[in-house]
Amino acid sequence: MNCPCGTQKTYSECCEPAHKNISSVTTAEQLMRSRYTAFVMANGDYLMESHHSSTRPTSEKDAIVSWAKSVSWIRLEALETTKGGPSDTEGTVSFNALFLENGEVDVIREKSAFVKENGHWTYVGYAT
Ligand SMILES: [Zn+2]
């Protein structure tokens, strides 16, 4: 199966290594992709693990998982990236995540901020 994040690689070659070991993720874009795939798969544990501890929505985990399961994910469009490379400690990634909710296409358009915490990339929130 092709990875849900749209790289044309299989899940086992793309986001699965991230889901098994977040420290294997080398770039902010890869982390963003692995989080999209975790939404598609309703992998709440990874969504929490990949969140920076300062903004991690632990109390909303169940609601996030329920919502992720309730929609049909269409595709991810990765747009601009700043920094976020293997030797960086911060970066931003802009993306569109398209999904079908209650029969209508909706889209999350976001410029996200990522920083490294405990030696691996994490999602902080909206970039300013
Ligand atoms: Zn992927």
Q: How far is the CA of 22 from the centre of ligand 1 (A)?
A: 13
Global pTM value: 0.97
What are the residues whose beta carbons fall under 8 Å from the beta carbon of 100, sequence distance 6 or more? 71, 72, 74, 106
Joined together, the tokens standing for residue 126 give 């909206």
Q: How far is CA 43 from CA 26, 57, 78, 85, 89, in A?
A: 20, 14, 20, 25, 25
Q: How far is the CA of 57 from the centre of ligand 1 (A)?
A: 23
Q: How far is the CA of 84 from the centre of ligand 1 (A)?
A: 17
In whole angstroms, give the CA distance from residue 91 to residue 79. 13
Quick one: what percent of the chain has pLDDT higher than 90? 98
Q: How far is the CA of 37 from the centre of ligand 1 (A)?
A: 6
Residue 92, pLDDT score: 98
